[in-house]
Homo-oligomer: A and B are copies of this chain.
Amino acid sequence: MRVLGVDPGLTRCGLGVIDSRAGRQVSLVAFGVAASPADEAIDQRLLAIADQIGRWIDTHRPDAVAIERVFAQRNAYTVSGTMQASGVAMVEAARRGVEVALHTPTEVKAAVTGNGEAPKEQIARMVARLLGLDEPPRPPDAADALALAICHAWRPSTLSPTGQASTAAQKAWVEAARAARRGRRSWVAA
């Protein structure tokens, strides 16, 4: 399957496309960023991000778009642009009939490194190794987007009919996904 990962942002939105095959094989298709000038009005910036993501979907025709789940607890000002960019990315995918999945940073880290608390540099190095690159993809937003795409390709439901996690990384993934669901439930109730 082909997955487009999106690390949402207003100034820079990381984008990464991978192909995945049986046996946890992944290969690089493309990576880059969608950007918008900080001195433009917010509506023009969001439109620029939307159009660039739309073109990536049209060009690479992914089976799914995996987007980082943004939490409101982070810096209030930054988070609004990030959240709006993620909403806009979802609409671009949905309008084209492409499946959308959200993954938390912890899920992504656990999927790629087996450690839900892994530092960013470790993620980038692991992404490079998994995709057979000589060095970590830059900018970091693009590396994060590729990690999101790999995370989605390796999500537990694709591992086996019973959703059995076999490796340490898969077990950490399942644990992180469960924690995210628990967190979300109590969050809704709050």
Q: A residues near B, CB below 8 A?
A: 41-44, 46-47, 50, 70-73, 75-77, 79-80, 83-88, 90-91, 93-95, 100, 102, 187-188, 190
A84 → B minimal CB distance (Å): 3
Given contacts A50-B95, A87-B87, 18 further A-B contacts (CB under 8 A): A42-B100, A42-B102, A43-B91, A43-B93, A44-B94, A46-B90, A47-B90, A47-B95, A50-B91, A72-B77, A72-B79, A72-B80, A76-B187, A83-B83, A83-B87, A87-B88, A88-B88, A88-B91
Task: Check A73/B76 contact, CB under 8 A, given A83-B87, A85-B87.
Answer: yes
* Chain B residues within an 8 Å CB radius of A73: 76
B80 touches A70 (CB 8 A): yes
Closest to A73 in B: B76
Task: Report the separation of the CA atoms of residues A86 and B46 in the bound assembly, to the nearest whole angstrom.
Answer: 11
Task: Report the separation of the CA atoms of residues A74 and B87 in the bound assembly, to the nearest whole angstrom.
Answer: 18
Task: Report the separation of the CA atoms of residues A47 and B95 in the bound assembly, to the nearest whole angstrom.
Answer: 7
A63 → B minimal CB distance (Å): 15
Task: Report the separation of the CA atoms of residues A162 and B75 in the bound assembly, to the nearest whole angstrom.
Answer: 37
